[in-house]
Amino acid sequence: MDEKFYKSALVLVAVGFTVVFAIVVVPPLIQNPDIIGAFAAGFVNPYAAGYSSDVLFCWAALAAFVTYEARVLKVKYGWVCLLLGIVPGVAVGMALYFLVRHPQITQSNNKN
């Protein structure tokens, strides 16, 4: 896979999920701004709870990855991606983290 396709795919994931989030989640949240209730709605049945738990654990894995790379590889701005991993979601935070880290890792590898 070439670099241009890689970056385009990550942007498509981030933008695509943000659009879906804006269409599916934002209107009901505007109508009823109960954020705790909205979060709890992800656990209304075993199937929803399974997907919601997966999202929470994916975010935790992303947080561990970002924290590790910040300390060991000196990747900057990962904390912004972690915030975006909360809202709109992990798909956005992870895709953007890969975009943010790519030039930093590439630059670091070129120095060695």
pLDDT number for residue 6: 96
Chain segment 60-98, per-residue pLDDT in tens: 999 999 999 999 999 999 999 999 999 999 999 999 999
pTM: predicted TM-score of the whole model, two decimal places: 0.89
Residue by residue, what is the 3-state secondary structure of 52-108?
A: HHHHHHHHHHHHHHHHHHHHHCCCCCHHHHHHHHHCCCHHHHHHHHHHHHHHHHHHH
> Under 8 Å CB-to-CB from 4, ≥6 apart: which residues?
none
